[in-house]
Amino acid sequence: MDLTKPNASLQGYQKVIDSFDKGIALKPEDHEAWYNRGFVLYNLGQYQEALGNVSKAIALKPDYHLAWLGKGFLFYHLERYEEAI
């Protein structure tokens, strides 16, 4: 997929990200919104930005197991294998 050319799929992802941005602006402590925004970015291959979102979710709710799992996958995709473990 060429991420430099807009297409319907990428525009759909951007709409989802925009929706999460609006929700986070209203309720910045919503750990699930941060995690889900990170999940969308993960699906776009934007692993570093996704990691920041997932890390924010963990900071807000340290026992949020899905975020910890996602963080491990992101470290793996960033080839930060020791941290992934």
Tens digits of residue pLDDT in 20-32: 999 999 999 999 9
- CATH number for 8-84 (one of 1.10.3720.10, 1.25.40.10, 3.30.70.3040, 1.25.40.20): it is 1.25.40.10
pTM of the model: 0.84
Question: What spatial distance separates the first Cα and last Cα of the chain, rounded to whole Å?
Answer: 29
Extents of the domains making up the chain: 8-84
Q: Residue 64: phi, psi to the nearest 5? A: -80, 95
pLDDT of residue 27: 97
CB-CB neighbours of 12 under 10 Å: 11
Quick: pLDDT tens for 35-63. Answer: 999 999 999 999 999 999 999 999 999 99
Please name which of 60, 53, 67 lies closest in space to residue 16, comparing C-alpha atoms: 53
